[in-house]
Amino acid sequence: MRIYFIGVCGTATGNVAILMKRLGHDVAGSDTGMYEPMKSALHNAGVRAEEGWNPSRIEAFAPDIVVVGNAISRMNPELEFILDGRRYEYTSLPDLIGSKLIGRRKSLVICGTHGKTTTTSIAAGLLRANGLNAGWLIGGIPKNLSEGGANLGDLNAPFVIEGDEYDTAFFDKRSKFLHYRPHTLLINNLEFDHADIFRDLVDVKRTFTHVRRIVPPRGCIVENSDDANIADLEPTPWTRRFSVGFGKSAFLRISDFAENLGGSEFALSCGKKNIRIKWGLHGVFNARNAAMAAAGAANVLELENPLDLDLSFLENFGGVMRRQELILDTPRIAAYEDFGHHPTAIRLTLESLKARYPDRKLIACFEPRSNTAKRKVLQKEFADSLSLADMAYIGFADTSKVPADMRIDTAAIAAENPEKTLAFNSNEELLEKLESDARSMPEKLVCVFFSNGSFGSIHTKFAKDFA
């Protein structure tokens, strides 16, 4: 089959293009601003990826199917050519994943507001460590999987995928995970997010209800039993459900969590079995990510007790790039880069850092960059989360595409805690003030940079200047 990808250089789209090439298909695509490392990855895989939009390129390739990336919208020249000519079939990336990569394979779909990338990476690693050459598609770069974020695996082995609730394509506003044919569905947590496509928490719950309805009778749902929003979802008498959490009633229970600078440890118990996990990751949320991944992997392997798994993979699991990644470590200053862009994720990370560095002053830098963070819908929650830091610096929020009455007001957030919160009109101004303060403060410091984007690369500049 000849497959053409419009918008091929995105992380997920590029990885899928490479996997389709490995399946034996003839694959080509286009994008603007072709960037590394995906540009070279596509070339090395034999995917013909070219810069810019050129409908004649599609005509020359004569594809059997055209895949329209999630970021592609109307008025794109290649998309308009496809729609106007009616000569070529087109589909969305999630639909292609469901039909061609997953198909009849058992799928382990990890969803939830937070922790999807880390949990998917752990689940993939656990399945491999327990004898399965599973396929996977991960929205990040795991440090302990040599294939990176995408692996085809054996075609008769399960497929592990990060299940995003974001919409599918410009023509399909259903959540992506509805295309992934979940056999085992993990729901890590459930909160309001993606304010550009969901009206409120009820709307988010609706899409999670829909994905639960397609889990088959012999599949199962693994869910966080500590999350009240998950508990509110409808019953699922058509399939099994397993609970993971800190409560005593959880099927797989987490307890006795503790952390220090070197990592964390916690107990897992299920039935009459009890084990203790020691690893390099931090935070209660990561302990839950590990337990959820273990429960999901055990179900795929048809084990009654998740603790029958070989869990030694966890001991050396290094996490995922940009998730609490240490970028500077000197006797006086430590600095981290973190993907956090939701108030809950920011709060949990700050709590973890305070536990690890009780004798240091904690500075949080936040770039409101996601479609939710640019809106005022969670403004109070962002203020509350950032108040956990000793100092908080809020960067530039490009709200030009957000209606004026819906835009976040970073100055108002700063005004709630004026003695320790500052808002800036540019990320460069933030960096200048941060570096000045860091040099003048007598205390030892730990700084964390929260953004789901580049933050203007100020975190890398800060790390370089204080190395």
Per-residue pLDDT, 144: 86
Report yes or no: 371 and 442 within 8 Å, Cβ to Cβ. no
Report yes or no: 351 and 388 within 8 Å, Cβ to Cβ. yes
Q: Which of residues 93, 125, 159 is at a domain's end?
A: 93
**Confidence label for 361 from pLDDT (cuts 50, 70 and 90):** very high
Residues 119 and 257 placed together within one structural domain of the fold? yes
Residues 127 and 260 placed together within one structural domain of the fold? yes
Residues 136 and 81 placed together within one structural domain of the fold? no
pLDDT tens, residue by residue, 61-96: 999 999 999 899 999 999 999 999 999 999 999 999
pLDDT, mean of residues 332-351:
94
**Confidence label for 205 from pLDDT (cuts 50, 70 and 90):** very high
* pLDDT higher than 90, residue 254: yes
Residues 133 and 51 placed together within one structural domain of the fold? no
What is the side-by-side strand order in the sheet with 333-338? 325-329, 333-338, 445-450, 361-366, 391-394, 421-423
Which residues lie across from 30 on neighbouring strands? 6, 50
Q: Which of residues 68, 93, 118 is at a domain's end?
A: 93
Give the torsion through C-alpha atoms of 58, 61, 64, 66, to 10 deg: -30
Which residue, chain included where needed, has tokens 């989360």? Answer: 385
Per-residue pLDDT, 10: 87
**How many domains does one find in the chain?**
3
Phi, psi of 31 (to 5 degrees): -170, 170
* pLDDT higher than 90, residue 128: yes
The one-letter code for the residue type at 360 is R
Per-residue pLDDT, 35: 81
pLDDT, mean of residues 3-9:
96
**Confidence label for 34 from pLDDT (cuts 50, 70 and 90):** confident
* pLDDT higher than 90, residue 140: no
Residues 249 and 113 placed together within one structural domain of the fold? yes
* pLDDT higher than 90, residue 130: yes
Which residues lie across from 91 on neighbouring strands? 67
Cα–Cα distance, 149 to 164 (Å, whole number) = 15
* pLDDT higher than 90, residue 36: no
pLDDT tens, residue by residue, 160-196: 999 999 999 999 999 999 999 999 999 999 999 999 9
Domain containing residue 30: 2-93
pTM for this model (two decimals): 0.93
Q: Which CATH number characterizes residue 167's domain? A: 3.40.1190.10
Residues 163 and 279 placed together within one structural domain of the fold? yes
Residues 393 and 271 placed together within one structural domain of the fold? no
**Confidence label for 102 from pLDDT (cuts 50, 70 and 90):** very high
Residues 107 and 87 placed together within one structural domain of the fold? no
Per-residue pLDDT, 447: 98
Report yes or no: 129 and 313 within 8 Å, Cβ to Cβ. yes
- Decide if 98 is inside a domain: no
